[in-house]
Amino acid sequence: MWRVLNSENILVTVLSKARSVLKKYPLCDHCLGRLFARLGVGLGNDTRGFSIKTMLQLVIHHEKSTSTDQNEIRELAVNAGEPFITMYRIISGETVCRKPCYICNNKLSREYFQSIAEKAYRILKDWSIERFLVGVTLPREIRLRELEVLQITGFEWAESIKNEVKREVGKIIRDKYGLIPDFDNPEAVVIIDFDKDNLDIQPSPIYIEGVYWKKARMISQTDWINNNVSKCPLSLESFLNENLREVFGSEKIFIHASGREDVDVRMIGSGRPVVIEAYRPSKRRFDLNDINNRLNTDIVEFKLTSIVKRSRVVYLKTTSGSRRKTYKALIYSSKELSNNDMVKLEEFYKTNNVVKQWTPTRVLYRRRDTLRIRKVFEVKTKLLSSNVFEAIIKCDGGLYVKELIHGDNGRTQPSFSEIIGAVLIPLELDVISVE
Ligand SMILES: [Zn+2]
């Protein structure tokens, strides 16, 4: 609760709190001023702190005319420093030294902020950062000492030491070096380790959305490594890393796609929605056309269109199961087929579109055996020879299409195999659209 005080009362309250706290704890101008940071605007805490000490000196000097107690003045000289050191010297002839600040150990100063800001700026520049944020890690003891002092003055007007360091350093980086503080979407956060004076940078990843096409088979989406052996010669992820790491000066490029096709399935037609992530990039200015040119080959192609926020990755992942997919399959049949078989297959899914699938045998070694229910919306067929036909299958995302065709020994029901009454083998499978 904010207490409503008139101006005179505020002054009395501030000075009496400052007097109590300085009798107990040595505090530098910054750490005293910070206890009253919400009073006044456009002031550094050092100005605020020194002003309060000065006002307090006026009050105590006035009181001195009615009291001979010099002990309190000596205490204040030791704990608050100036202007009490001078006052005490004039009164007593003795010069005392100020004790180090109980909270910051005299670390806080304009020079400290200046030197940290300069170091931070150099790092931000190396990483090509224009929009930044400052973070601070603080040893627990400092935080506890700060809380201990606040027990005397209360939290009503205070700000934290973390806040002061972030604000002061951020202001210098903005005003002296021209970079832009950005609280919502910074290109990097520069983290100050208050204890060790180390600086670390956490550059925000760059996310770019688009679509990809896989024009050849035997390409996995991410690196597929089993017992240190790559199971697939090419992955989209390694393709991206080879072509884009230097563009972004990035440690790694990640791929986040809306679902995935099997290694031996092509992705053609309208392409699959994807977001690529440049992790810890040191270069942030780039040309999308140049990137798309690098990613356009005979076997793999990406078309990246816009820079997006991380939330798009979450959106792509969470909606992939609900996106309808269209596949083209080339299927071999053990028995000779007639046009009647084709009609039967197409007609079947007009009235029965629910498919129940237990986890396919081929992935059982790495996935739990669960029942999955998906829909087939449409099947169109074309008989190519007596034993081979093509099917265009529109279905829910997440439906196992190979199993829909061959039935997986009854683990997928109904299946093309069951409907036609033949052993069916999917020869080739392509994704032709992802909605
Ligand atoms: Zn201090």
Spacing, Cα 343 to ligand 1 middle (Å):
84
- The answer to whether residue 303 sits within a structural domain is yes
Domain CATH for 332: 3.30.70.3190
Domain CATH for 177: 3.30.2130.30
Cis peptide leading into 414, omega within 30 of 0? yes
* Judgement on whether residues 213 and 317 belong to the same structural domain of the protein: yes
pLDDT at 1: 43
Last residue of a domain, one of 321, 338, 367: 321
Last residue of a domain, one of 297, 321, 345: 321
Task: List the domain range (segments joined by +) for residue 258.
Answer: 206-321
Specify whether the CB–CB gap between 27 and 43 falls below 8 A. Answer: no
Cα–Cα separations (whole angstroms), residue 150 to 102, 143, 160, 165: 12, 11, 10, 18
Q: Which residues contact 74 (CB under 8 A, 6 or more apart)?
A: 88, 92, 94, 96
Spacing, Cα 103 to ligand 1 middle (Å):
5
Longest dimension (CA), the chain: 118
Angle (nearest 5°) at CA 32 between 69 and 175: 145
Spacing, Cα 73 to ligand 1 middle (Å):
20
* Judgement on whether residues 333 and 317 belong to the same structural domain of the protein: no
The DSSP element (H or E) to which 20 belongs, if any, is: helix 7-24
Spacing, Cα 101 to ligand 1 middle (Å):
5
* Judgement on whether residues 300 and 241 belong to the same structural domain of the protein: yes
Closest to 400 measured CA to CA, from 303, 265, 209: 265
* Judgement on whether residues 199 and 210 belong to the same structural domain of the protein: no
DSSP letter for each residue of 166-183: HHHHHHHHHHHH--EE-S
* Judgement on whether residues 274 and 219 belong to the same structural domain of the protein: yes
- The answer to whether residue 97 sits within a structural domain is no
Q: Residue 167, class by beta-carbon neighbours within 10 Å (0-12 exposed, 13-18 middle, 19+ buried)?
A: middle
Q: What is the ipTM of this complex?
A: 1.00
For the beta sheet containing 131-137, the strands, ordered from the edge strand earlier in sequence to the opposite edge, are 180-181, 131-137, 188-193, 198-203
Closest to 434 measured CA to CA, from 207, 209, 213, 239: 213
* Judgement on whether residues 196 and 174 belong to the same structural domain of the protein: yes
Spacing, Cα 62 to ligand 1 middle (Å):
27
Phi, psi (5° rounding) for residue 130? -110, -40
pLDDT at 352: 85
C-alpha span between 367 and 154 (Å, rounded)? 56
Spacing, Cα 161 to ligand 1 middle (Å):
9
pLDDT at 260: 86
- The answer to whether residue 356 sits within a structural domain is yes
| Catalytic status, residue 182 | no
pLDDT at 395: 95
- The answer to whether residue 123 sits within a structural domain is yes
* Judgement on whether residues 344 and 390 belong to the same structural domain of the protein: yes
CA dihedral 172, 133, 275, 252 (to 10 degrees): 80
- The answer to whether residue 257 sits within a structural domain is yes
Instruction: Write down the catalytic residue from 46, 262, 369, 408.
Output: 262
pLDDT at 6: 73
What is the full per-residue pLDDT of the chain (435 aa) written as tens digits? 445 567 778 899 999 999 999 999 999 999 999 999 999 999 999 999 999 999 999 999 988 766 657 889 999 999 999 999 999 999 999 999 999 999 999 999 999 999 999 999 999 999 989 999 999 999 999 999 999 999 998 888 999 999 999 999 999 999 999 999 999 889 999 999 999 999 999 999 999 999 999 999 889 998 876 667 666 678 999 999 999 999 999 999 999 999 888 888 999 999 999 999 999 999 988 999 999 999 999 999 999 999 999 999 999 988 877 789 999 999 999 999 999 999 999 999 999 889 999 999 998 888 899 999 999 999 999 999 999 999 999 999 889 999 999 999 999 999 999 999 999 999 999 999 988
* Judgement on whether residues 335 and 296 belong to the same structural domain of the protein: no
* Judgement on whether residues 131 and 199 belong to the same structural domain of the protein: yes
* Judgement on whether residues 214 and 186 belong to the same structural domain of the protein: no
* Judgement on whether residues 328 and 424 belong to the same structural domain of the protein: yes
Spacing, Cα 107 to ligand 1 middle (Å):
7
Domain CATH for 269: 3.30.70.2510
- The answer to whether residue 100 sits within a structural domain is no
Last residue of a domain, one of 203, 235, 270: 203
Number of structural domains the chain divides into: 4
